[in-house]
Structure 1
Amino acid sequence: MAPLRFSANLSWLFPELSGFPARLRAAGSSGFEAAEIGWPYAEPPEALARAAREAGLRVVLINTPPGDREKGENGLGAVPGRQAAFREGLEQAVLDVELGLRGGCLLDQRSIAGRGAVATRPRGLVYSAAIMRLEVKIHLMAGRVPKGADRAAVRGEMEIVFLENLRHAAEVLAQENLVGLLEPINTRITDPRYFLDTPQQAAAILQKVGRPNLQLQMDLFHWQIMDGNLTGNVREFLPIVGHVQVAQVPGRGEPDSPGELSFSYLFQLLEDEGYTGFVGCEYQPRGDTAEGLSWLHSYWEMRGRPHAGQ
């Protein structure tokens, strides 16, 4: 069984540093081989790609745009009346990947000047085999139940919208050899109005869509809060999982911080079940991020890998 591979979620880690390029450098210096960024859209993707290459990192995950945060939006995939905005955001996410986050090396040497209009961007660009293996995935955010609406009353309509948007997304992503992810987010603590909140709901939706380039994103923090039964759920759903994320429960700190979860057990479980994707570190550091990585250094040492500074 292969050791797990970890990615630094730079929307959470290294908050003591300003800007994603600085956080990418810090993640590389700390021994990470990959990074994920929730919403990278405020910075040019070419600049992020350059910073990632200099740090020896690959970017493996981004989210679709959240929508209008001032109006309380947190994703648009299942939100009625926002289909056009979701699809525009999907195009923006794919364009960011093409322009830099996937690696920036095109075999046909075609240049893309600026970010350009998404409607006229090139399709079907030929990527080298090395870049195709960079495993960039896009989290297709479902969004929230509209304010004032009863969840049960709008569930059917929202699922129909989500299914339509996911089928569209699967077609768009397939043209670029990309994978889309669905992530259940807990509605007990983190986001009470989020539409997609359990692995069972997400798996049922994936089955209805039936597209192989759409997979499940397993955040153990959210899964523990909503359903528990992590051993059973990991074993049941891992065959359709494309990405894992971790944080302690309930404080959302480092895996070795006080809480409900035994990550030595969970990491071993993922290894035993044959998981080969990345494990994203999406937690809130209790202090300096690098100083709080002793849990990761211990994991590497147990698997025979030296960490940064050794």
Structure 2
Amino acid sequence: MGSRGLLVPISSVHWARGGVHPGQVASLLQDLCSLDRIHLMAGRIPVDSHRATVSREMEDVFVKNLSYAADILSREGITGLIEPINSRITDPRYFLDSPHQAAAILEKVGKPNIQLQMDIYHWQIMDGNLTQNIQKYFPIIGHVQIAQVPGRNEPDSDGELSYSYLFSILEKLGYHGYLGCEYKPLGKSSFK
């Protein structure tokens, strides 16, 4: 499953002192792929650590690294996206696990080219209350991902979410971006 990001591990606070910062990698990718958005994964809580014990320090590191990345990305016209990933099912150690936490971090970063990637699957698992959360956080949403809950299957499969309703909310709010589909197909699929 990989490291799930490099922007929050405490050891990553000194990117500027040496090595390649993820923002610099994004800049190189932009040259190759003409991308305008990139997902900046937060990272995981260290093994044998408790969230409450390391949370403040990890948040401080994340904010510093996002600010640094924002400056690099802005020179290339790239928007960085942070995505809360649920810690109940997908990854109990993932640092950034709720839209509320992500919004607070974005406020501290204060850079318009660092925005929220709303994965409706994760938001439903962690908090529910999707109508109010979408409306509340819409001004900072830079990308939307969809999948059905609880199995992370196709959005039109049976499950907890009515995507026609959720799409109507996004449309009323004026969302004109892409919808990313990140799901596990129930049946055969040509996508792997």
Q: TM-score, normalised by structure 2?
A: 0.92
Are 2:99 and 1:199 aligned? yes
CA distance in structure 1 between the aligned counterparts of 2:58 and 2:152, rounded to whole angstroms: 29
Superposed displacement of residue 86, structure 1? 8.6
Q: What SS does the corresponding residue of 1:81 show, helix, strand or coil?
A: helix
Residue 98 of structure 1 corresponds to 31
Equivalent residue runs for 1:1-310 within 5 Å? 69=2, 73-83=3-13, 84=15, 87-99=20-32, 101-102=33-34, 136-289=36-189
1:93 positional shift:
2.6
Q: Give the percent of matched residue pairs that are identical in Structure 1 and Structure 2.
A: 56
Moved over 6 A (4+): none
Task: Give the aligned partner of residue 306 of structure 1.
Answer: none
Cα distance in structure 2, aligned partners of 1:256 and 1:160: 39
CA offset at residue 267 of structure 1? Answer: 1.1
The RMSD of aligned alpha carbons is 1.8
Name the CA shift for 1:246/1:86 in 2 (closer, same or farther; >3 Å).
farther
Larger Rg: 1
Output the TM-score relative to the length of structure 1: 0.58
Deviation at 1:290, TM superposition (A): 5.5
1:12 aligned partner: none
Gaps of 5+ in 1: 1-65, 103-134, 292-310
Structure 2: which amino acid aligns with 1:286? L
2:168 counterpart letter in structure 1: Q
Q: Which amino acid aligns with 2:129?
A: N
CA distance in 2, matches of 1:87, 1:201: 27
1:96 positional shift: 1.6
Q: In structure 1, what residue type is equivalent to 2:73?
A: L
1:153-212 CA-to-partner distances (Å, cap 9, x unmatched) read: 000100110011011001000111110011000000001000000000000000011001
Q: Over residues 15-40 of structure 1, what are the superposed CA-to-partner deviations in whole Å (9 max), with x where a residue is unaligned? A: xxxxxxxxxxxxxxxxxxxxxxxxxx
In the comparison of the two structures, how many residue pairs are matched?
188
Q: Secondary structure at the match of 2:56?
A: helix
For 1:284 and 1:262, how far apart are their aligned partners in 2? 18
The answer on whether the counterparts of 1:76 and 1:143 sit within 8 Å (CA) in structure 2 is yes
8 Å Cα contact 1:87-1:165 kept in structure 2: no
Whose relative contact order is higher, 1 or 2, with alpha carbons under 8 Å and at least 6 apart? 1
Distance 1:218 1:86, change over 3 A: farther
Which amino acid letter does the alignment assign opposite residue 250 of structure 1?
P
Q: Which AA in structure 2 matches 1:77?
A: L
Amino acid of the residue matched to residue 267 of structure 1?
Answer: F
Amino acid at match of 2:117: Q
How far apart are residue 87 of structure 1 and its match?
A: 4.8
- Per-residue CA deviation, residues 249-268 of structure 1 (Å, 9 max, x unaligned), is 01111111111001111111
Contact 1:87 1:169 in 2 (8 A): no
Task: Report if aligned partners of 1:77, 1:86 keep a CA contact under 8 Å in 2.
Answer: no
Residues in 1 aligned to 2:160 and 2:19: alpha-carbon distance in whole angstroms:
36
